[in-house]
Structures are given as C-alpha cells and as structure tokens.
Amino acid sequence: MAGFDQLGARAIAAGVAAGDFSASEVARAALDAIEAREPKIQAFLQVSAGLALKAAAATDARRAAGEELGLLAGVPVAFKDNMHLLGTRTTCASLMLEHYESPFTATCVRRMLDAGATPMGKTNMDEFAFGSSTESSAFHRTYNPWDITCVPGGSSGGSAAAVAAGEVTLALGSDTGGSIRQPASFCGVVGMKPTYGVVSRYGVVAFGSSLDQVGPFGRSVADVALAMDALVAAGRDPFDSTSQEVPAGFLAHLEASVEGMRVGIMPDLMGHEALTPEVRAALDDARVALGDQGVEVVEVDLPHMASSIAAYYAIGPSEAFSNLARFDGVRFGYQQPGCTTLAEQTALSRAYGFGAEAKRRQMLGAYLLAAGVYDKYYYPAQQVRTLITSDYRRAFARCDAIMLPAAPTTAWCFGEVSDPMQMYASDLFTISCNIAGNGGVCVPVGLGADTGMPIGVQLQGPAFQDHKLLRMARALERGLEESGRIKPGSVAPAFAGKGGELA
C-alpha cells in the first residue's frame, strides 16, 4: 500500500471501513516502513509483526462480516515498553527486565486494541523512564528522525521518533515530568499528557505513582483527539484507583469556535536565561496564531514554578525508590549468577541489573525517605506541590489555558549533555503540570531558524478540561497551518517516502 504514512488515523480508519484498502495492507505497509527505517532510527525494542498481522486480519474479518468497526480500525500503533502487551516482552529498556514476558495487557493498550488499532510493537525509552533523551536505555539509542546526530528526547523518545519517522500513525507514551511533551517537541509531533486520572495506568510499570500519566503521540491534533476518545470510551477502569470517569467527544468538539477563549502567557518567561532565541520566536509565533483564531491573550503568573524542579526531584525519586524495590533479583528480573546468599543475590542483581541513572534515582529516593531527612525535603516538597497547584488555580481563573515552552531548546546532539543536572533542566517548563496534575499538550510550531530542528509549544489546561485544551491546541495548529508555518500530519523529510520506502 503506497503512502500509508501520509495518512492520518482518521483517514486510515475511514478507508478501512469503506473498503478502500484493508487493515492487512496497512499493517504490511507499516511493517515495510519499520524494516526500511529502523536501521537509522532504532525507535523499537520489539516489533510485533505476528500480533500486527493477526489483529489486522481480525479487523478485515469483522468488516467482511458487516460488523461495526472501532475508532482506530487498522491504524498502526506502537506502545512504550513500560506498558504490558500479552505476547511481547515488557523490559522498561532495562537489563533488569530484559527477558520479562508480559503476563497481561495494560488497560490503555487494551482500549487501543479494542478500538481496532494494529499493535506494531514496543518502543525504546529511557530505562524505567528515568531520563530526557532515551540515552539511558540499556539496549540502544534512538535517533531523532529530523537529524540522526540528535536525541529524540525522553523518556518516551522511541514513541515520538516512530511517529515522526512515519513508522506508525499513533503511539502511546508515559509522562511523569514531561516525557511525552518534551520528545514531541524535539521530534516535531503532537504529544498529550492528559489530566492525572483520565487514562488508566493499570499494567504500566510505575515510576512516580502520583505523577505518571499515559498519553498519545500523533502527527496532528485530530489524531491525538481520536486516540483520546479510544482511551476513555470504556469509562473508568476499576483496576486503577486513580482512574476517573471522563466523557468521550474529544474529536467531536475539536473544531468548535475558540472565539472568546483566553490563553495565559507569562511575560517574564520570555527573558528566561534557559530559552534559546528560536524558542522565544516560536512562542511569539504561537501567540500570534492563537490571536488570529480569536483567542484573547492575557498575562498570568505562576510564582512558585521555579520551585517545581526541586519539588519534583524530591517526590519523583522517593516514589521511584518505593516502586522499584520489588525488583530484587528473586521473584523476577535479572539474577546475578554465582550468588550464595539471599543478601548477595539481591545486592548484586540490583547492582548489575540497573543502569547508572536508575541507581542514581533510587539512591536519592532512599536518602530522601530516610529518618531525619524526610521532614527536611520530602514533606516540604509536598507543601510546595500545594502552592504550585494553588498558583494554577488562580491563573486558570483568568484564562482557559496557559502557553509555555515544551522545552527550553531544540534537540541536542548525542554527547552534548552529559551532566545529569543539565539533563534535568530540559523539563523545566513541563514538570509543574505533573506536580499539579493538570493536562498538557505539545503542538509543533515550526523549525528553528538557527538549528533547523522542530520546536513545540505547550498548552496547559485545568484538570479535567482536556476537551477544551485540545480545542485550543487545534486552533493553534490551524493558525500555524494558515500562516504556512506547519503542515499537520507531515513526516520528517528524510523519511517522507511512499509505500514504506526511504525518500
């Protein structure tokens, strides 16, 4: 099937339903694209060709029988490798889980499959989602489709790169401090972190349980909205105590008027020392594009935003230490050979099974939760969390969404950022959204004048107002499209071929 990668999710599902092409044809075209492009991108840790062809054949059989097809009928989808999918491994890009077979399918994955999606495989990530570049994967790097000398971002870098390279139409990632929105910005795709509780996390290996949220990547806001409809269609998940009942209709309300809606900006942010000139220019272009669509621009302030990284790196590692304590080299996971005692088995299995960043975060968490330290750091971090949440509440009383950079820079080159603290700073403008539990979406604005690399702008909205947030994201996309700055649904130029062949 020629040109599957030029089609959006809606077009593929409609084409399959109409009989213009079959789900099996789309699956084979996606597999061809993956085979041709993976040597350069390495977005996948496992390609599930058998599962993909079986699911596509089932979709075709349902159509032949006259049955109603799902929202994502025949749409190729990839899943971050911290999400269980029966018939695949779930490694979290770690030696600790290198051979771990998924015992069941995560709710978020199941809902995509129930909507008719074709599962193409599991994507690379930073080990246990600890990172911002996908360089901490225990298995291999993933390369940015816009420039393979650059990182794709992280920790959901594989999912973002797979969508940007046209290997799949949609992908799921997880976002604990920016791990969907930052790689979406680096790879020039749309990425959404829904409000905490909107998407079930049952079957997703936890990093920070009060921060994690699953969300979709796509090459247009419409594709992301369609994926969100699939993710929430079945209602609340009883297996996730944080799951909430959220109505579908993300796509149905996407083109509604934004006339009279307000977007908040922070003028002081434009002078932030971390922002590059081309990111500042992108923010200004986004502001103009929203204004052209009838959105009113107002000034807001988040006075405690600067404290969000400090709070995050007290809360996140503490929760990670608790969540990863189960990987003890005894019940499951990597087991160091030659050990003679339980203590030795546990200590050496964790020492060799975890990578450097995973060990760094767990050690930090262990320290932060220690007696005499907890009251000094962890408890105040939770107090700061309350202040940040209150700041957002006051800001959203004046506007419907807040516009921020998704990242302070464009994608950096491999080896350019080696200091962990410098790496952590790449999430400077995304972390506060997780701290407060709000929704956030990154929309591509164009290419930087200096680097020629993609830049995304982030919109953050009030909790459980994700429908409205996506409507404003679509208005931004529409304004940028009308100005000629972007073409929604486009694939990175080096991979914008036909029929799964490299251009």
Catalytically annotated residues? 80, 155, 179
CB atoms within 10 A of CB 414: 15
Q: Residue 49: which residues within 8 A CB-CB, separation 6 or more?
A: 31, 121
Q: What separation, in Å, do the N-terminal and C-terminal C-alpha atoms of the chain show? A: 16
By the 8 A CB rule, do 80 and 125 touch?
A: yes
Q: Residue 136: which residues within 8 A CB-CB, separation 6 or more?
A: 93, 126, 127, 130, 154, 355, 356, 357, 358
- Backbone phi and psi for residue 217, each to the nearest 5 degrees, phi listed first: -110, 145
DSSP E strand boundaries for 89-233? 118-123, 170-175, 190-193, 213-218
By the 8 A CB rule, do 462 and 481 touch?
A: no
Closest CA to 500 of 33, 24, 5, 19: 33
Tokens of 153: 């971002």
Cα(493)–Cα(454) distance, integer angstroms: 12
Q: Residue 191: which residues within 8 A CB-CB, separation 6 or more?
A: 156, 160, 173, 180, 181, 183, 184, 185, 215, 216, 217, 224, 441, 442, 456
DSSP E strand boundaries for 60-189? 76-80, 118-123, 170-175
Cα(304)–Cα(67) distance, integer angstroms: 53
Q: Which residues pair with 444 in a beta bridge?
A: 456
By the 8 A CB rule, do 296 and 332 touch?
A: no
**Secondary structure class of 372 (helix, strand, coil):** coil
CB atoms within 10 A of CB 494: 16
Amino acid found at 486: I
Cα(367)–Cα(380) distance, integer angstroms: 15
By the 8 A CB rule, do 500 and 32 touch?
A: yes
Cα(387)–Cα(394) distance, integer angstroms: 11
CA dihedral for 410, 138, 196, 258, sign (positive or negative): positive
- CA 53 from chain centre, in angstroms, equals 25
Closest CA to 9 of 79, 56, 58, 72: 72
- Backbone phi and psi for residue 385, each to the nearest 5 degrees, phi listed first: -60, -40
H-helix segments, 65-123: 107-114
Say which DSSP state 152 is in: -
Cα(116)–Cα(227) distance, integer angstroms: 11
